[in-house]
Structure 1
Amino acid sequence: MSEIRETLFRYLTMLQLIPRSPGRVSTPVLLEKLHERGFRIDTRSLQRDLRDKLALHFPLVCDDSSKPYRWYFDRDFHCNLPALDVPSALTLVLAEEYLKGVLPPVVIDQLAPQFRDARRLLDDLEGNGLSQWAKRVRAIPNGKVLIPALFKEMIWQVVAQALMENRALDVTYLSRSTEQEKQFTLHPQGLVSRHSVTYLLATVNDYDDIRQFALHRIKKAIISSNSWRESTAFDLDSYIHNGAFGYLDGNEDTRLVANVAPQLAWLLTETPLSNHQTLIPLENSEWQRLEAVVPNDQQTLSVIFNPVVQMAALKQPFYYARFPALSLG
C-alpha cells in the first residue's frame, strides 16, 4: 500500500511540475525537482512514467526535436486541483480585468486557463443569479493607462527562463536613441513592469552597470552559450528606491504638511499616502491638518500636486512644505 501511495503522490507532483505549452521542462530538470521533493526514481523509470502512464491519460506532449527531451501539456489543458470557489473565481476575474490594462497580452495569456476556469464557474451558477456576473464586475484603473507595449510570446518565454535559471541571453535589440538594431549579450538581474512597459534589468557584455531593456524592443532572444555573470552589488529594491523608475528628487523621504478639505481627509483616511500619516482636525473648521512622510520623487509629488491645486481653487487656507523626514509620533 505504501508503494502505491508513493507512486500516486509522485504522479501528482509530476503533474504540478510540467508546464503548459509554450513552456517546457526537460527530463533531467524534472528528475532533479522530484529528487528535491524526496522521490526516489531513476531516469528510465521517469521516462516510463511520462510515456506509458501520464501520457495515456493526459494531453502530455514530448518535444523530441533536441536532447534532452522536453515535456509539456497542451496549452488548453486545465486541472482544477483544488476546485475554485465563488470568492476565488471573482478574485481571478477582477485580477484579469485589472491586469489587462497593466501587463502585455503575452503575460496575461500565461494565466488564461485559470481565468477561463473562473469565468466558466461563474457562468454555470444560474441557480443563484451569479450567471449575470459579467454585468456586475469591473476593475477601473486609477487615471489614464496606456495600452501595454506588445512583444512576442517566445521573447517572454526565453527571458523568463534566463532570469529564473541564471542564464545569459544573446539578443537583438532596437535602440530608441539610434533607431537601429544592435546585438548584445545580456546577463539578467531583474524584471520590472512599470505602467505599460516591462523592463529587463541586465548587465551588458563585460560591463558591470545595470541597464534597462524594454521587452517590446527585443526583436530576437536565445539562451547564450556564454556563462551568466551575477551582479553581486545589485539589489532590486534599492535600485528602485534610489530613483531608477521614480525620478528621485533626493535621497531622503519628504515630510508633507497640508490643510485638507473634509472630502480629501476622508479619502486619505481610507487610502493613506503612506504608513506614516496623521490627520488632525483644525480648530473651528471642518478641515484637517495632514502630515505624512512620502518618497521624494516626481511621481509622488504629481499625486500630491492635484489636491493642492484643488485646495487653492477653493480659496481655503493651506500650505505645502517639504522638510527632511521626521518622526510624526
Structure 2
Amino acid sequence: MNDTSLRYLEMLKLIPRLPNGITATELHRKLQDLGHEIDKRSIERDLIKLSGMFPLTSSEGRPAKWSWLREAELTHLPALNPAAALTLELAHRHLAALLPHNALVALESLFKSARKVLDETTQTGLARWSDKVAAVPENQPLMPASISASVHETVHQALLAGKRLEISYQAAGQERPKRYPVNPLGLVSRGGGYYLVATARDYPDPRNFALHRMVSATLLDDPSIKPAGFNLQRYIAGHGFELPLGGDINLELRVSPWLASYLDERKLSPDQTLTPIRGREEQRLNATVANTDQLRWWLRSFGPNVEVVKPASLRRKLADEFAEMAELHQG
C-alpha cells in the first residue's frame, strides 16, 4: 500500500459522523502528527476526491467541516484482525516511550481497539500470544530514572519537526545545569534509560544526552543541523554508546567451562576461537574486540570465571582494580 492510500485511510478514520465534523485545518494537523508530510491545500483536494467515492459531506460555513453521513456504512473500512491487534499491543507495551506524544494520543483509540479485538478473540493462539512473551533485562534491573513529561514531549516534537532545542542540562558530577542549543539527531533506549543523540551548539561531533538529566527543553524555530553522512544506526554500531579507550584489541582470555559454553553460543566477535588448554579445565578464548569501557564492565562481571591474558595493559588494569576491591572487602 503506497503513502497516498495510507493517508486516505487515515483521513477516512479521522472524519466523524454527523452531527460532528472536522475542518481541513484540523485534519492537516492530525495527519502531520501521524507523520504525513503534506500541505493543507492537498488535504482539501483529497477531501473533494474522497467525497466522490464515499458518503462524505461538508458544511456550508467557513471553515467547512467534513463528516460522514449519518446513514453511512463504515464497515467497509479496514478493521483490525488479531495479527494486527497483537502487533499494536506489543508495540504499545514496549515502544510507547519512543513514539512521539502526539502520535501516542492519536493512536490511543487504535490501541484500545486492538486490546478489544484480543479480548474478544481469546480462543485464538494470536490473542493469547502477548501473555506468553516478555522482555527480561540481562543485567541487574534498575528502576527507571524520572523524566519530565514536558521534556519528553518537547524532545519528540523537535525530532518530528526537525527543529533545534535549547536544553538546560545537568551532567553527572555537575553542581548546576548548563543551557545551550542542541541539534537533535535521534532517540535511543538503553538499559531502561532514554538518550537524545545530538550535536551541541555548532560542534559536529554527536553526543548522548540523558533525558532524565534535562531540567528543561525549549523548542526553537531554527532547523536542526545534521552532520554530513550521519546515520543513527551506524552511530550505534560504531560504539557511539560506549566510552572508547582506543581501537580494536586482540583479546586473549582463560575462561571457565561454563563460561566457555556460554560464549560458544554468544560469541564476542566473528573471529572468536575457543581452544582447550592442556591439563586444565579452562579454555583459551581469542577474539578481536573494541577496546571500550563497556568491555571492562563485562569482564569484571564474571569475577574468577575469566582471566585476562592479553593485552598486558588490560590485565594489569584489572589486576589493580581487583586488588583494591579485595582490600575494601577485607577491611
* Normalised-by-shorter TM-score class: 0.5 to 0.7
Q: Hey, what does 2:268 align to over in structure 1?
A: 273
For 1:304, the aligned partner's letter is L
Please list the CA deviations of residues 194-225 of structure 1 after superposition, one character each: whole Å capped at 9, or x if unmatched. 32332223333455554443223334434313
Of 215, 225, 230, the residue aligned with 1:229 is 225
Secondary structure of residue in 1 paired with 2:291: coil
Secondary structure of residue in 2 paired with 1:146: coil
> In structure 1, how many angstroms separate the alpha carbons of the residues matched to 2:31 and 2:192?
30
Deviates more, 1:213-222 or 1:126-135: 126-135
Q: Kindly tell me: are residues 279 and 163 of structure 1, through their superposed partners in 2, closer, same or farther at Cα, counting changes over 3 Å?
A: same
Secondary structure of residue in 1 paired with 2:244: coil
> In structure 2, how many angstroms separate the alpha carbons of the residues matched to 1:16 and 1:277?
53
Alpha-carbon distance, 1:141 to partner: 1.0
For 2:291, the aligned partner's letter is N
Please list the CA deviations of residues 63-100 of structure 1 after superposition, one character each: whole Å capped at 9, or x if unmatched. xxxxxxxxxxxxxxxx97662339x83x7767776669
> In structure 1, how many angstroms separate the alpha carbons of the residues matched to 2:226 and 2:125?
54
Q: Hey, what does 2:163 align to over in structure 1?
A: 167
Of 58, 67, 92, the residue aligned with 1:56 is 67
Q: Kindly tell me: are residues 258 and 229 of structure 1, through their superposed partners in 2, closer, same or farther at Cα, counting changes over 3 Å?
A: closer
> In structure 1, how many angstroms separate the alpha carbons of the residues matched to 2:241 and 2:197?
12
Aligned-pair identity (%): 31
TM-score by length of 1: 0.60
Q: Hey, what does 1:254 align to over in structure 2?
A: 249
CA contact (8 A) 1:258 1:289 kept: yes
> In structure 2, how many angstroms separate the alpha carbons of the residues matched to 1:283 and 1:277?
19
> In structure 2, how many angstroms separate the alpha carbons of the residues matched to 1:94 and 1:296?
36
Of 289, 296, 301, the residue aligned with 1:301 is 296
Q: Hey, what does 2:183 align to over in structure 1?
A: 187
Aligned residues: 276
For 1:32, the aligned partner's letter is I
> In structure 1, how many angstroms separate the alpha carbons of the residues matched to 2:198 and 2:189?
14
Which structure 2 residue ranges, 5 or more long, are not aligned?
Answer: 16-28, 59-64, 70-76, 314-331
TM-score by length of 2: 0.59
Which structure 1 residue ranges, 5 or more long, are not aligned?
Answer: 1-6, 35-40, 59-78, 312-317, 325-329
> In structure 1, how many angstroms separate the alpha carbons of the residues matched to 2:165 and 2:127?
46
Alpha-carbon distance, 1:301 to partner: 2.6
Whether 2:38 is the aligned partner of 1:32: answer yes
Q: Kindly tell me: are residues 271 and 116 of structure 1, through their superposed partners in 2, closer, same or farther at Cα, counting changes over 3 Å?
A: farther
Q: Hey, what does 1:245 align to over in structure 2?
A: 241
Whether 2:72 is the aligned partner of 1:84: answer no
Coordinate RMSD, CA, aligned? 4.9
